[in-house]
Amino acid sequence: MLIMKGVSKIFRTDLVETHALRNVDLHIKAGEFVSITGPSGSGKTTFLNLAGLLESFEEGDYFLDGENVRGLSDNALSDLRNQKIGFIFQSFNLLPDLPLFDNVDVPLRYRGLSAKDRKQRIEEALELVGLGSRMKHLPTQLSGGQQQRVAIARAIAGKPRFLLADEPTGNLDSQMARQVMELLEQINQQGTTIVMVTHDDELARRAGRNIQIFDGQVSDVDQNPSDALVKRA
């Protein structure tokens, strides 16, 4: 599970302070499929980065699987990212010089798995996203949707407990988006907790639970529907 208590994030530059997240209280249970929606610039990616331990935060506490991550060393955070979290980035972030196989291999390498184990997981993951036959291709030789699926394969190859997806369907047509959504649902059914940022209301509704972010503030639609409605009005 994933628990945030009073978490705030402020981006400071020389000129301005941006309160990207304000006093976020949140509890996501193991096995949930949560969608996050909100206007552009509202703090969705920031929230996901924080949840994925890519970004530090100023205030509050964040418990990942019961462990308070505040004050953990850089190495401990790296290991947590490596072992518990799968990340699907808004812009795939594949390594362009590496074939698909090696791209999916990256997180497994840092986990120090055996070559045999890694090979099996990579093939499984690529098979699952339907790219089992293209392992030797470079990312640039794939379509956008295929690249997104490689990114998903990379995120799930390590069998993480949490899958954080930032607009995994943002670059895809609706047909492809539905396919990816089905893939995520399949992964969720196998027990992985998923938090997905999306602009697509239809996809958001398909998730078990929808959280909205406005101007850095989180409102849980399913738990506080009236509150959300008030804000929307």
Give the one residue of 35, 45, 188, 212 binding Mg ion; rule: CB under 5 A. Answer: 45
Kindly tell me which of 38 and 86 has the beta carbon lying closer to ligand ATP: 38
Identity (one letter) of the amino acid at 232? Answer: R
Site for ligand ATP in 42-61 (CB under 6 A): 42-46
55 binds, among Mg ion, another protein, ligand ATP, none (CB under 5 to 8 A by kind): another protein
Please report, as ranges, the residues that interact with another protein according to CB under 8 A.
45, 49, 52, 54-55, 74-75, 78-79, 81-83, 87, 89-91, 93, 95, 97, 106-107, 109-112, 154
81 binds, among Mg ion, another protein, ligand ATP, none (CB under 5 to 8 A by kind): another protein
3-state SS, residue 91: coil
- What are the beta bridge partners of residue 2? 28, 64
- Asked if 188 contacts 33 with a C-beta cutoff of 8 angstroms, the reply is yes
3-state SS, residue 133: helix
Q: How many residues bind ligand ATP (CB under 6 A)?
A: 12
Kindly tell me which of 75 and 175 has the beta carbon lying closer to another protein: 75
17 binds, among Mg ion, ligand ATP, another protein, none (CB under 5 to 8 A by kind): none
Q: Is 169 in the site for Mg ion (CB under 5 A)?
A: no
The C-alpha atoms of residue 161 and residue 130 are separated, in whole angstroms, by 22
- Please give the order of strands across the beta sheet that includes 162-166: 85-88, 162-166, 193-197, 33-37, 209-214, 217-220
**Taking Cα atoms as reference points, which of 162, 215, 158 lies closest to residue 54?**
162
The C-alpha atoms of residue 228 and residue 31 are separated, in whole angstroms, by 24
CA 181 to chain centre: 13
Give the one residue of 4, 20, 24, 104 binding ligand ATP; rule: CB under 6 A. Answer: 20
**Taking Cα atoms as reference points, which of 134, 102, 95, 136 lies closest to residue 119?**
102
Identify which range of 41-49, 66-74, 122-130, 175-183 contacts Mg ion by CB under 5 A.
Answer: 41-49
82 binds, among ligand ATP, another protein, Mg ion, none (CB under 5 to 8 A by kind): another protein
The 3-state secondary structure of 29-55, one letter per residue: CCCCEEEEECCCCCCHHHHHHHHCCCC
62 binds, among ligand ATP, Mg ion, another protein, none (CB under 5 to 8 A by kind): none
- Asked if 57 contacts 50 with a C-beta cutoff of 8 angstroms, the reply is yes
214 binds, among another protein, Mg ion, ligand ATP, none (CB under 5 to 8 A by kind): none
Binding site for ligand ATP (CB under 6 A): 11, 13, 18, 20, 38, 40-46
